[in-house]
Chain A
Amino acid sequence: AQKVTQAQTEISVVEKEDVTLDCVYETRDTTYYLFWYKQPPSGELVFLIRRNSFDEQNEISGRYSWNFQKSTSSFNFTITASQVVDSAVYFCALNHNTDKLIFGTGTRLQVFP
């Protein structure tokens, strides 16, 4: 079965702190894709990153970085020097070469000034 687990329901940090959002996935497929989306209070999900199962290189984009570890089936997301504008719900998602994205339950991040 395919499943995505985001064990952290809610995280609160103070501005400029680093924060890591955890994502653990389950799949029997060897070819799959992992995603992170951000959902700000306005509602729309904003695409952040896609990673395929054959590319385990970590990625950095500005203050965002992602750590993909196949050995532990994890795809964690770190925000460095967090800002108030980072406050949102963050979703990890899995696709196993079908039309369907399987989402986790999301982690609500609150960044306080």
Chain B
Amino acid sequence: ETGVTQTPRHLVMGMTNKKSLKCEQHLGHNAMYWYKQSAKKPLELMFVYSLEERVENNSVPSRFSPECPNSSHLFLHLHTLQPEDSALYLCASSQDKSAGVYEQYFGPGTRLTVT
């Protein structure tokens, strides 16, 4: 595997379910990110991790819970989601967390549908 991978690619879940999204980067980077991409809206940064420590939580509801067990893996745990949470969830990584200096590399995303 190369670059940034995400699983699953597609997920349909009910509002009472609990599921997790997984992201893995094979680039030796120290920073990882979760973004939400909804139709006709700019990409929204959700969380930033640097060296496994969360450095930014962009006012995300608590029904989204990130976990970064090591610098290569990032999870997004989901529970009691709402239909408006349906979106493409993108994971990214960069060499370091200074977003201006280091470009971010993105995974293909997980298309989430909440029914």
Contact = CB atoms under 8 A, between A and B. Distances in A.
Contacts of A99: 31, 48, 50, 55-56, 97-99
A15 to B, nearest CB: 26
A35 B107 contact: no
Interface residues of A, number: 26
B99 A95 contact: yes
Nearest to A6: B42
Contacts of B108: 42-44
A44 B104 contact: no
Contact of A47 (B48, B90, B105, B107): B105
B62 to A, nearest CB: 21
Contacts of B106: 37, 44-46
A36 to B, nearest CB: 11
Contacts of B111: 43
A32 interface: yes
SS class, residues of chain B in contact with chain A: loop
A100 B45 contact: yes
Contacts of A91: 43
B101 A33 contact: yes
Contacts of B45: 100-101
Given A44-B108, A45-B90, A103 B99 contact: no
Contacts of A106: 42
Contact of A43 (B41, B58, B103, B109): B109
Contacts of B3: 44
A93 B17 CA distance: 34
Given A44-B4, A45-B90, A100 B107 contact: no
A98 B99 contact: yes
Interface of B: 3-4, 31, 40-43, 45, 48, 50, 55-56, 58, 88, 90, 92, 97-101, 103-109, 111
Given A44-B107, A103-B42, 5 more contacts: A4-B42, A43-B108, A45-B92, A97-B98, A101-B99
A-B pairs, top 9 by smallest CB distance, nearest first, are A33-B100, A95-B100, A45-B106, A43-B109, A103-B43, A43-B108, A44-B108, A47-B103, A103-B42
